[in-house]
DNA sequence: GCAATACCCTACTAAATTGATAGAGATAGT
DNA sequence: ACTATCTCTATCAATTTAGTAGGGTATTGC
């Protein structure tokens, strides 16, 4: 399960990305329209700004806007800001690599191998999907299909 | 990142599964050979027993052994015992489904759609890989290949 | 210049989770 | 009876999560 913080970040980003180019959205607006606690959202937007995803203006006509084009901002990038490493094991992370304390041999570790496969699979999605993709419901994998997943 | 508890559980399971059919391994043995705190491991093995994965015997010739064949025990099954739902969002979980508190429409939720893709991808691995596969380093996806991942 | 608006920053808190440790009880074998 | 082993419950410290609180700082418009 991803944290509320990360979920709020995606909601906010999608809201900002949807706004017409050049217009800024205020934290108050975003909070109200997306069921996010206002002061909590402020922290999140600040994190996104510090990460170079958003830009901001203060004062009366202030607010937040995308700093980078929406099609360059991937889901994994955002997730990492709020969740830290996405790898299931420290020894599988490229960006936050840490050897397991008690590991004898990484190459022969069956747990590492299996989780490596799972991680590869999910990373292939999260690394390639962007905010722009999410907004436009672009197809994944080169074809369009109705969602087959059923809730429940 | 998966919890230490889950990681220990996999280590223990692999150790037990590796033992000759019919022989039981004691928690003390498993703990010593796999760098797991003994009393912590006891809780874990108990959970695995309650979940119907292991059987146990008390007393002098006691210990733990597989209850079900190793090729029927999937990674996702074990993970769920110790980590709860694997889905990144409650509204994507089949076994622990919960609507997001503030969700207006699940079908049109872009966040749900994108994470659904990532979840599908990793589930395809974790649902299909078993303890037996991990032990025998069986190929995944119908072919054998040298691991291309580099640690670091 | 001054007030209103909106972002910026830090500190705090309650509740839950993680990663154990501790100790007593139940059962099986010799 | 004795001992090895599993079984069960309680407890604990550290960390994380999900916020709340309350100022401080920049910008605009009058």
Q: What percentage of chain A has pLDDT greater than the value 90?
A: 80
Range list of H helices, A3-149 = 4-18, 27-34, 38-50, 75-83, 110-126, 131-136
How much is the mean pLDDT over chain B? 91
Give the HSE-up count for residue A80: Cα atoms under 13 Å, Cβ half-sphere.
17
The more confidently predicted of residues B99 and A147 is B99
B124/A contact by beta carbon, under 8 A: yes
pLDDT digits (tens, 9 = 90+) for A103-121: 878 888 999 999 999 999 9
For an interface test with A, the pick among B99, B102, B110 (most A C-beta atoms closer than 10 Å) comes out as: B110
In A67-106, the residues whose Cβ lies within 8 Å of chain B are 75, 84-85, 87-92, 94, 97, 99-102, 106
pLDDT band per the 50, 70, 90 thresholds, residue B130: very high
pLDDT digits (tens, 9 = 90+) for B31-64: 999 999 999 999 999 999 999 999 999 999 999 9
The answer to whether A74 and A129 are in contact (CB under 8 A) is: yes
Which residue among B114, B134, B152 places its CB closest to the CB of A110?
Answer: B134
Instruction: Measure the CA–CA gap between A82 and A44, rounded to whole angstroms.
Output: 9
* Residue that has been written with the tokens 């874990």 in this structure: B44
Estimate in Å the CA A114 to C1' D10 gap, whole number: 36
Amino acid A149: pLDDT? 43
pLDDT band per the 50, 70, 90 thresholds, residue A145: very low
pLDDT digits (tens, 9 = 90+) for A18-73: 999 889 999 999 999 999 999 999 999 999 999 999 999 999 999 999 999 999 99
| Residue B27 contacts strand D, CB under 7 A | yes
């Amino acid at each position: 399960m991803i944290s509320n913080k990360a979920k709020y970040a995606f909601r906010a980003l999608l809201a900002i990305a949807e706004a017409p180019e050049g217009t800024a959205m205020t934290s108050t607006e975003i909070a109200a329209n997306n069921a996010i606690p206002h002061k909590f959202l402020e922290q999140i937007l600040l994190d996104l700004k510090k990460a170079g995803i958003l830009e901001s203006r203060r004062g009366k006509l202030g607010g937040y806007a995308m700093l980078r084009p929406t099609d360059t901002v991937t889901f994994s990038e955002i997730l990492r800001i709020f969740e830290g490493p996405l790898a299931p094991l420290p020894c599988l992370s490229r960006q936050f690599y840490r050897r397991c304390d008690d590991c004898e041999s990484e190459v022969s570790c069956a747990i590492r191998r299996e989780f490596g496969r799972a991680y590869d699979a999910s990373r292939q999605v999260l690394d390639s999907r962007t905010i722009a993709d999410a907004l436009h419901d672009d197809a994944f994998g080169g074809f369009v299909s109705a969602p087959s997943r059923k809730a429940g």
